[in-house]
Structure 1
Amino acid sequence: MAAAKPFPTGPTGLGTSAARIGELFRPKSAGRRDLPELYCPPAVRDDRALGAEVNDRLVRWAEQVGIYAGKLEQFRAVDFGRLLMLTHPDTDDPDRLLAAARCMAAEFAVDDYFCEDALTSKHPERLGPRLMLAQSAIDPAQLPARSRERYQRAMRTEPVWYALRRSVEELAPYASGAQLGRLRQEIAALFLGMDAEAGWRIGGTMPPAWEYLANRQMNSFLPCMTLIDAVGGYELPAAVYGRPDVRRATLQAALASVLLNDIYSMHKEHGADGLEYNLPLVIAAEDGCSLDQATQQAADMHNELVHSFEAAAAALSLTGDPLLTRYLGGLWAWLGGNQEWHASSPRYNQS
């Protein structure tokens, strides 16, 4: 498959011109030796010192809010600080990167605590109420006096809910009301996707690939990616962010990013206790093919999405809107940084 031409990226906080990014950061096939080729841009930068600073601060924050208690060294090794440094190359401000890292860590904690517990416990039906209250943590309920104190106490004493609330509160200095509202909307969709997956588990069913992919569109990195402009120190207007053509491109990038996650995580999840879901396993079950064949099909879907996003972003950049072009460039950079992190993080590379 011939490589499509990269679309131009707008000026960034690093002062890089659109022309230079277009020339220097051409897309490439990236992947581990044991994985099929994944069409993905390279990471724009890899500032190890900046990533380490953000990661150190994030670990201290996790300790303060109580998530990953007793597992902070494992949490440190996952290196979310490096992920944020890689996926947001248009800022070198550790405070802005930390603000996004806190949100990401809290969202991952929902998966690691609530969803994993639903997978292994005898009461997977508890996930729905937990996710409902997780959403309430980021968009606090305004309760009458009789219930207010008990609600607030619960939000403080459950570490995951507390982390979610703190992460959004501490993002506020760097994001407008519209950007925060956008984040809450995308997180609500994320939790809906998590809840749907629990429904499959309770029923002991494997969904068809089309249904799984529709769910994965919601249960994706989109909440993290929607902070691209806030972390970069600018704001893509709501009227532009919500345009159907911009939304379509954003969702293509988001789905591609999480299908890459499926491919990198399948060996970690394959053989896990309980029924697990990722695209290669779903395809193998539906088609009756080998896991290697299914993985190649999943990689082909990922690559198709990246090519589609690249073409859509190139067309959108021709409108001449500098903020839109910068945002699209941020999505492109996010894909490259995401792949680089997955290729090296112990979360996905331990045997």
Structure 2
Amino acid sequence: MPAPEPTSPQSSLPAAAAHFGAQVLAEAAARACDVRAATGDSPGELSLPAPPALPALPALSVPTLPPPDAPTAVLPTAVVPAPIPGLERILRGPSGLGTADLRLVLREQLPPPSQPPATSAEGGAIPGLYHHQVAEPDPVRVEEVSRRIKSWALDEVSLYPDDLAEQFDGFSVGSYMVGCHPDAPSVDHLMIATRLMVAENAVDDYYCEDHGGSPVGLGERLLLAHTALDHVHTTEEYQEQWAKSLHSDAPRRAYHSAMNYFVQVASPSQSDRFRHDIARLHLGYLAEAAWAQLDHVPEVWEYLAMRQFNNFRPCPTITDTIGGYELPMDLHAQDAMQKVIALAGNATTIVNDLYSYTKELDAPGRHLNLPVVIAEREGLSDRDAYLKSIEVHNDLMHDFETNAAALAADCPVPSVQRFLRGVAAWVDGNHDWHRTNTYRYSLPDFW
């Protein structure tokens, strides 16, 4: 009897979609009922306990947030660049109770990518860079987020000295986060992302770069900072010593405080996801530090591999938490979803390489970025290396959109559709912040 022919590999996405599609709304409703039963809250709000305060720091307060299944506005962008079998049905969106606001919008329905001049009053996009225009961030939200985050950074966790207040303002983090999370139900949700972004930036500044950073001893500093996110569990005697260390320097204070706020609104799996992605980030920091200590310029592919870890990934991966819902763990862990998230992180980080190019050239020492590595390793002029870096970014963006569209077609679950829209919105908002932040960035004269 002949051996049976092996069956062709089948994607597990449709099965996962079927499994979660039937449960997602029921689970959301059950969570809301459980919360109301436990807290006595009305259906419209969820009162969260204040996170524990650090010794010698002001007590932290967490505002009232809507429940995870609160309806939110539809995002104006999408991730569907080309027709895919069955896509028309997906674009019509899910049907049934509670899904009226869940819709994908074709990018082709929006204004096409534009190439404004390299200089303009609000900052020009890099010529030839593939991107999407976005609406201006809500100025009311921007102002409120900016006010709150400055109070948190300067007063609550003493993150920066007063003489760096101007640099903090120039970072325009309020505009950044409002633009990247257009579906956030409230300013309180936006603040969750904003604190984490500022804390991550402080770790980079203080440990790696601008404000006394050094590759020497970086591993120890990052490990101890990571314990502010992923707590140490040891004997009582040493547990107390570790706990006191959490406010021993600015990055650890910021990480600990921001994470305390985050875990009040995130599920255990969302919290663990974030810790995992921060560990990826720290691993990327260490690779770059090793090259700096060796005065080594990596091959282009090695640099891009490092950038898949040392990148913005922790930011778009929490888009569901900031949106007030949850992408189920099994769906987030799918290989196809992980690829989409990785491509989004890679593309947005090359955007940073390109917009910060002149800023890094003016800084002391040699800063590795994609144009610098391509020029060194492929023997190109600075201009040609920069232009090739634009092509690399554009390829990553096209791959991101193609893979996101295929995943949307394969897995028509409301939370997947919304998460993909959220990641796409973060990609677009990240570019727009870089484009408009003329305080920090200016373009090279290559055109």
Q: How many residues align?
A: 345
Q: Which segments of structure 1 move beyond 3 Å, counting only runs of 4 or more?
A: 3-11, 19-27, 29-32
- Match for residue 386 of structure 2? 295
Alignment map for 1:1-351 (pairs within 5 Å): 4-5=81-82, 18=103, 22=107, 24-29=109-114, 33=118, 35-63=126-154, 64-70=156-162, 71-116=164-209, 124-319=215-410, 320-345=412-437, 346-349=439-442
Aligned mates of 2:182, 2:150 — CA distance in 1: 21
Aligned mates of 2:112, 2:275 — CA distance in 1: 32
Q: What residue ranges of structure 1 are gaps of 5+ in the alignment? A: none
Please report the TM-score for the alignment, with normalisation by the length of structure 1: 0.91
The answer (yes or no) to whether the contact 2:344–2:427 under 8 Å persists in 1 is yes
Aligned mates of 1:247, 1:113 — CA distance in 2: 30
Q: CA deviation at 1:195?
A: 1.0
Letter in 1 for 2:205: D
Structure of greater Rg: 2
Letter in 2 for 1:348: Y
Q: CA deviation at 1:56?
A: 1.0
The answer (yes or no) to whether the contact 1:190–1:218 under 8 Å persists in 2 is yes
Distance 1:180 1:27, change over 3 A: farther
Q: From the two aligned structures, give the one with the greater helix fraction.
A: 1
Letter in 2 for 1:150: Q
Aligned mates of 2:102, 2:133 — CA distance in 1: 17
Aligned mates of 1:133, 1:111 — CA distance in 2: 14
Q: What residue ranges of structure 2 are gaps of 5+ in the alignment? A: 1-79, 120-125
Matched residue SS, 1:227: helix
Aligned mates of 2:197, 2:255 — CA distance in 1: 9
Aligned mates of 1:146, 1:154 — CA distance in 2: 13
Task: Tell me how large the CA RMSD over aligned residues is.
Answer: 2.5
The answer (yes or no) to whether the contact 1:175–1:230 under 8 Å persists in 2 is yes
Letter in 1 for 2:289: A
Aligned mates of 1:350, 1:208 — CA distance in 2: 25
Q: CA deviation at 1:78?
A: 0.9
Deviations 1:179-233 (A, max 9, x none): 0100000000101100111100110111111001000000111001111000111
Aligned mates of 1:36, 1:23 — CA distance in 2: 20
Letter in 1 for 2:237: R
Matched residue SS, 2:405: helix
Q: CA deviation at 1:350?
A: 9.4
Distance 1:74 1:334, change over 3 A: same
Letter in 1 for 2:183: D
Q: CA deviation at 1:41?
A: 2.1
Q: CA deviation at 1:85?
A: 0.4
Q: Give the percent of matched residue pairs that are identical in Structure 1 and Structure 2.
A: 37
Shifted more, 29-38 versus 79-88: the winner is 29-38
Q: CA deviation at 1:32?
A: 5.8
The answer (yes or no) to whether the contact 1:114–1:130 under 8 Å persists in 2 is yes
Matched residue SS, 1:39: coil
Aligned mates of 1:81, 1:301 — CA distance in 2: 29
Distance 1:46 1:211, change over 3 A: same
Distance 1:20 1:200, change over 3 A: closer
